[in-house]
Amino acid sequence: MIARLDTWLKRVPNWAVWLAGFLPLAWLVWLVVSNDLGVDPVKEIEHRLGKIALWFLIGGLVITPLRKFVGLNFLRYRRAIGLLAFIYVVLHLMAWAVFDMGLLLSQAANDLFRRPYLIFGISAFILLIPLAVTSNKASIRKLGANWRRLHWLVYPAVLLGVVHYLWQMKVIRTEGWIWLAVVILLLATRIKFPKSSR
């Protein structure tokens, strides 16, 4: 059953993943155009983009445990998922700077370095930049074993991202705790225990 699903999944072309990845953006654009984002569309756009970025970041972290524990191999889609996550992070950041801060850059900068939740968010973004830049075959070849070491940065980035999400809430809601728990669980699957000697 799993094996059949796995074989079927392998037939999904990468462009389909990209296409699916832009559906949330298309939906958001539609909501903007149809004026369906409520009274405060700016906040809505900003928050939705951040949430979508979080989906894809978590999606990228799910791939290895799925392969290891379930036997489903999505590895060939991981680059697309990771890059989509990065694109949504960039859009989220742009929505903040342009719509929310109204390009009041001095206040934005001021806020950035004094508000812990913004520092967490921007740090996550900065950590993701080298990962996005090296998401190509040439970089993998050139960097060799260092590529894996570099891409280890995705773990702190996702953790910073989810803390950023929780910290900006006036009161942390159940939904926030669930996202944090999911991230911690996924990171926990990466912990390597020393092999038992039996």
Partner 1 sequence: MANRTKMNWSDVTPRPLWLNRRALIAGMGATALASPALAKIAAQPSRFSTDAKPNTLEEITNYNNFYEFGWDKTDPAANAGQLKIDPWSVQVDGLVDRPGTYDLADIMKDRPLEERIYRFRCVEAWSMVIPWIGFELAGLLNRFGVQPSAKYVAFQTLHRPEEMPGQRAGGINWPYVEGLRLDEAMNPLTIMATGLYGENLPKQNGAPLRLVVPWKYGFKSIKSIVKISLVAEQPPTTWQQLQPSEYGFFANVNPEVNHPRWSQATERTIGGGFFASRKETLKFNGYGDEVASLYSGLDLAKNY
**Interface with partner 1 (CB under 8 A):** 31, 34, 36, 38-43, 98-102, 104, 107, 110-111, 114-117, 167-168, 170-171, 173
Pick the closer one to partner 1 by CB: 1 or 33: 33
Token couple for 72: 């489903």
- The residue among 79 and 115 lying less far from partner 1, judged by its C-beta, is 115
Minimum Å distance from CB 51 to partner 1? 13
Question: Residues 156, 27, 112, 181: what is their CA dihedral angle, to the nearest 10 degrees?
Answer: -30
Length of the chain in residues, anyone?
198
Choose between 106 and 196: whose C-beta lies nearer to partner 1: 106
Q: Which of 134, 124, 119 is nearest to 168 (CA)?
A: 119
Which among 125, 107, 106, 108 is positioned nearest to 164, based on CA atoms?
125
Shortest separation between residue 108's beta carbon and partner 1, angstroms: 9
Q: How far is the CB of 94 from partner 1 (least distance, A)?
A: 12
Residue 197 CB, shortest distance to partner 1, in Å, is 47
Cα 81 to Cα 86: distance, rounded to the nearest angstrom: 9
